[in-house]
Amino acid sequence: MNPTPHDLAALEALAVEVAREAAAFIVEQRPTELEVSTKSTHTDVVTVMDSRSQELISERLRTARPQDAFFGEEDGAERGGDPSETGLTWVVDPIDGTVNYLYGLAPYAVSVAVVEGDPAVPGEWRPVAGAVVDATSGEVFHAHLGGGSRRRGVDGTETELTGSGCTDIAQALVATGFGYDSAKRGRQARALVELLPAIRDIRRGGSAALDLCHVASGQVDGYYEMGVNAWDIAAAWLVITEAGGLLTGASGRPPSPDSVVAAGPGVHADLLALVDSVIDLVREDR
């Protein structure tokens, strides 16, 4: 997929600007009584702030980039114009780590990415610029295709991200997450029982986007999860690959809700082999 002739640095800067504004909004405007409803299950929550954050992001992006398409977690794909005119779609998670946000528990994030192709079809899209803002720390993870991967601290200091140097899977600290469906969580737990003895330990932070950014920063050595969506991974995918990391699905296929496996080059193949050895325990049709 040849990159389209867009100013990717400018698109990255727009993603950073909008994600930072939305992150500040969800913290500063959080009502004392948070209206909550549920989606796929009784634990798959969406708050009024998920919707308000997405409205803010959508309004800012449509003003700045009216001819791009928009694909947000809270209302699915919308056409912001004729995507064929730009070939670009903004993929947004207005609050990643919604359960953490509901409980007032760090971390939770805002993820804003712009992608080429169709983000609704695994293997048919890739990110070209994006940003993930940790709304609880103020840190910004950002990247554009070919531009490297950075973390901006709250003091504005930029740090180049190059991942962890881990080369031994038995020493790997691995982040993961679990789904909202209780039967699937049970299957994911059984897979974890098989996988855990082969690695150092797991961490379950509650935000896939930040888990993936922490692979890029070397704060964990790897990440895997079954059941995350394009909006969870779109920006962080680029943050990882621009930091020299690898992100695939099981069996090396493109990432999809079936599976995401991310790590540095020293352990990605070993983590992928472990996930491949347990993934049938998780898939429903087995």
* 96 counts as binding ligand LIP under rule CB under 6 A: yes
* 53 counts as binding ligand LIP under rule CB under 6 A: no
Stretch that binds ligand LIP, among 18-26, 140-148, 224-232, 255-263 (CB under 6 A): 224-232
* 127 counts as binding ligand LIP under rule CB under 6 A: no
DSSP 172-234: -EEEE---SSHHHHHHHHHHHHHHGGGSSEEE--S-HHHHHHHHHHTSSSEEEESS--HHHHH
The Cα–Cα gap between 188 and 186 comes to: 5
* 98 counts as binding ligand LIP under rule CB under 6 A: yes
DSSP-assigned letter for residue 33: S
Stretch that binds ligand LIP, among 8-16, 178-186, 253-261, 278-286 (CB under 6 A): 178-186
Contact with ligand LIP (CB under 6 A) among 180, 186, 254, 283: 180
* 235 counts as binding ligand LIP under rule CB under 6 A: no
| Sign of the torsion angle spanned by Cα atoms 107, 108, 110, 113 | positive
Question: According to CB under 6 A, which residues from 67 to 86 bind ligand LIP?
Answer: 73
* 259 counts as binding ligand LIP under rule CB under 6 A: no
User: CA–CA distance from 256 to each of 57, 110, 124, 171 (Å)?
Assistant: 24, 20, 11, 27
CB of 253 to ligand LIP, least distance (A): 20
Query: Looking at beta carbons only, is 177 or 264 nearer to ligand LIP?
Result: 177
Query: Looking at beta carbons only, is 145 or 195 nearer to ligand LIP?
Result: 195
Stretch that binds ligand LIP, among 74-82, 113-121, 176-184, 193-201 (CB under 6 A): 176-184
Per the DSSP assignment, residues forming a β-bridge with 159 are 151
The Cα–Cα gap between 54 and 111 comes to: 10
CB of 260 to ligand LIP, least distance (A): 10
Binding-site ranges for ligand LIP (CB under 6 A): 73, 93, 96-98, 177-180, 206-208, 225, 228, 232
